[in-house]
Amino acid sequence: MQTTTKVSTFRAAAIVAALGAFAGLSSQMVPSVTSFTGQGATAAAVAKTTTAAAAVARTTAAAASTTAAAAVKAVTAAGTPGVSMAAPAAQAAVQFASEEALRARIKWVPVRYAGENLKTLDEASRLLLAQAAAERAKLGEVGLSFEDVYGVIWAETSWIPRTGMGKNGVQSLGLAQFEPRTARGLGLKNPNDPVQAVYAAAVNMKHGAEWAADKIEHLKLTPEQRAEKIREGVSIYYNLSIKGRNKWDGQNTAILPVETQRHITNVRLGAEKASDIAEEIVI
């Protein structure tokens, strides 16, 4: 990552100090997750440990990202011009604070899906929307980060906006696959608008993390285990109805529908993909 400024030495040092911790953390957030189905208890244990470590790394990075963004905002507010930053959430928050600015920066590319010619956002645009949404929704307060936002959209649509159909016969719309009732509850006016939809997804994830924290409050968990369970809870909250999600007690994930368990896995894989992209792309 690179940090380029056209400011005084003091202000430049302030930015670098604020972002340095996050840059160091993000470079460690690319664990390898492999499916160990049928390969024995030892391999499964290794996978679980790796997953938990990755969850804690993203949690720590979320807090560092929020701190970095606040520091950069403070410097910018003081009149610092021409700041170019590689720290993802901080950069998105400072440079692309409005929906209009975000829409102006996103780019669409053609993609073939299910026999149809559709459009998807390019990788830089995906990362930008995930970063801005995570910052605006203050996901760091609940231990989540832009990687988690990216992961949820990845699990829902692979970042290809479209209309889906739930088992209840209700359509789900856009990148984040919101049903009309859920969209209204989140104040989402247009589920097909990518900027609005990804932000609403981040808000919904925050609700899910708070709900999950209440559900597992009675459990004795290590920080690593708690981070993993919070993320499980986010998928469960996002993926299931109120009746379905309330069956979860923090320990019985294995009894949930296979679609929900797949959602948990795909969010994790999507979050890892976001970490890889963030190391390669400076928006």
- Is the pLDDT reported for residue 236 higher than 80? yes
> Is the separation of the CB atoms in 232 and 226 below 8 Å?
no
Q: How far is it, in rounded angstroms, from Cα 222 to Cα 40? A: 24
> What pLDDT, in 10s, does the model give residues 54-65?
565 565 555 544
Q: What is the 3-state secondary structure (H, E, C) of 107-127?
A: CEEEEEECCEEEEEECHHHHH
Average pLDDT over residues 155-178: 91
Tell me yes or no: is domain 87-280 CATH 1.25.40.
no
> What pLDDT, in 10s, does the model give residues 203-232?
999 999 999 999 999 999 999 999 999 999
98 contacts: CB under 8 Å, gap ≥ 6: none
Closest CA to 140 of 152, 153, 149: 149
> Poorest-confidence range of 45-49, 82-86, 127-131, 161-165?
82-86
Task: Please report, rounded to a whole number, the percentage of residues in the chain having pLDDT higher than 90.
Answer: 60
The answer to whether the pTM exceeds 0.85 is no
Return the pLDDT at 124: 95
- Is the pLDDT reported for residue 31 higher than 80? no
Looking at every residue in the chain, the average pLDDT score rounds to 76
Q: Read off the tokens for 17.
A: 């100090």
Q: Where are the domains of the chain?
A: 87-280
Closest CA to 14 of 3, 30, 25, 24: 3
Instruction: List alpha helices for the chain, DSSP H.
Output: 9-26, 41-77, 88-95, 99-105, 123-136, 146-157, 180-185, 194-215, 223-239, 242-245, 258-280
Q: For residue 244, name the pLDDT band (cuts at 50, 70, 90).
A: very high
Q: How far is it, in rounded angstroms, from Cα 226 to Cα 103? A: 36
3-state class of 171 per DSSP?
A: strand
Average pLDDT over residues 116-127: 95
Q: For residue 260, name the pLDDT band (cuts at 50, 70, 90).
A: very high
Distances (CA, A) of 266 to 10, 35, 117, 150, 235: 43, 12, 24, 11, 10
Burial class (CB in 10 A: 0-12, 13-18, 19+), 199: buried
Return the pLDDT at 51: 53
Q: Read off the tokens for 252.
A: 């019985």
In the block, which residue shows the tokens 């003081």? 78
* Residue 165 DSSP one-character state: E
> Is the separation of the CB atoms in 220 and 230 below 8 Å?
no
Return the pLDDT at 25: 34
> Is the separation of the CB atoms in 237 and 207 below 8 Å?
yes
CA angle (32 as vertex; 27, 34 as ends), nearest 5? 165
> Is the separation of the CB atoms in 144 and 62 below 8 Å?
yes
Average pLDDT over residues 234-255: 96
- Is the pLDDT reported for residue 14 higher than 50? no
